[in-house]
Structure 1
Amino acid sequence: MDLLLVFLGFICIIIGIMGSFLPVLPGLSSSWVGLLLLYLTKAVENNYWVLGITFIIMITVTILDYIIPAKGTKRFGGSSYGVWGTNIGLIVGIFAPIPFGIIIGPFAGAFIGEIIYDSKNHKRALKAATGSLIGFLASSFINFLLSIVFLGLFLNLLWQNKANLFL
């Protein structure tokens, strides 16, 4: 049973890494579940501090995933129309059957939202859409970094407990 939990945990970690760039897949939350599965084995002693701290980090970053692109739009001079456009574009981009829809969606959404707000100022709309794109890329980078940290934690625990796991 322990080997199955280790295997499923590793799969969750890999899905989490891929999910940091593909929002259709669960990102950091999947990586955290991978850590949890490793801790559920009989070979690895539970460490509630590690699980608790990584859980709080995962929840915080997951919330920030939805805030950062909108804040990027606002920071680059976007209006509430651009912020709403970013959020709507993010959702549409996830489900759109186009390559890089998750990147194009928030950018296009912010641009369209700003054009609706002020149809004469295309330069401002483009600037707000660029802020949305930068916010999305920053959010993805943070997710990727933390997913790699969770992978490192997983592999470290696996290495420390290899004698108990692989008898």
Structure 2
Amino acid sequence: MDTLLIILAILCTLGGVAGCILPILPGPPLNFLALLLMRWSGHAGFDSRFLWIWVAVTLIVSALDYLLPGYLARRFGGSKYAATGSTVGMIVGLLFFPPAGLIVGAFAGALIGELLYDRDDLRKAVRVAIGSFVAFLLSTGLKLAASLAMGYYVIRALFV
């Protein structure tokens, strides 16, 4: 049973890191599950305080992932169309031009979304697209940092 839990923890760690970039997988929650699996396997001495800290980090990073793009798009003067367009563009870009399409798609989607909302202001649409792109990079970076840190503890538990 311990071996199965360890294998599942490793798979969750890899899936969690991939989920930081792929919008289909929940990155940090998968990595937190990997921490739990390692604790249940008996190979990690994670105490309750350690796990509660990572619960908080996981919840905060996951919430920011949903809130940050819309917030920054609006801070740069954009509409909900830009935020939605950024997400759709990111998915379409990932499907057709991975991995660069992820970044280009987020920018292009926000630009197209804002132009659908207000066709007359190209300068504003470009500014909003840049804001959506910055939000994408920021939220992805936060998720990746949290996931890699949790992944580090999973891997370390295997060798200690």
TM-score range, shorter chain: 0.7 to 0.9
Give the match for residue 86 of structure 1.
83
1:119 aligns to what SS in structure 2?
coil
**CA distance 1:115–1:43, shift in 2 (3 Å):** closer
Residues 40 and 46 in structure 1, CA contact (< 8 A), matched pair in contact too:
no
Q: 1:8 is aligned with what amino acid?
A: L
Aligned pairs for 1:76-155 within 5 A: 76-78=76-78, 80=79, 83-91=80-88, 93-94=90-91, 97-100=95-98, 102-155=102-155
Deviation at 1:57, TM superposition (A): 1.0
Taking the aligned partners of 1:158 and 1:72, their CA distance within structure 2 comes to 40
Aligned pairs for 1:24-39 within 5 A: 24-39=24-39
Divergent runs of 4+, >4 A: none
Larger Cα Rg: Structure 1 or Structure 2?
1
Could you give the per-residue CA deviations for residues 19-72 of structure 1, whole angstroms, max 9, x where no partner exists? 111112221111111111001113444522122211121111111101111222
**CA distance 1:43–1:144, shift in 2 (3 Å):** closer
Taking the aligned partners of 1:95 and 1:36, their CA distance within structure 2 comes to 33
Taking the aligned partners of 1:147 and 1:46, their CA distance within structure 2 comes to 16
Deviation at 1:153, TM superposition (A): 1.3
**CA distance 1:43–1:125, shift in 2 (3 Å):** closer
Taking the aligned partners of 1:110 and 1:91, their CA distance within structure 2 comes to 9
Q: Which blocks of at least 5 consecutive residues in structure 1 are unaligned?
A: 161-167
Per the normalisation by structure 1, the TM-score is 0.81
Aligned pairs for 1:45-64 within 5 A: 45=45, 47-64=47-64
Q: Which blocks of at least 5 consecutive residues in structure 2 are unaligned?
A: none
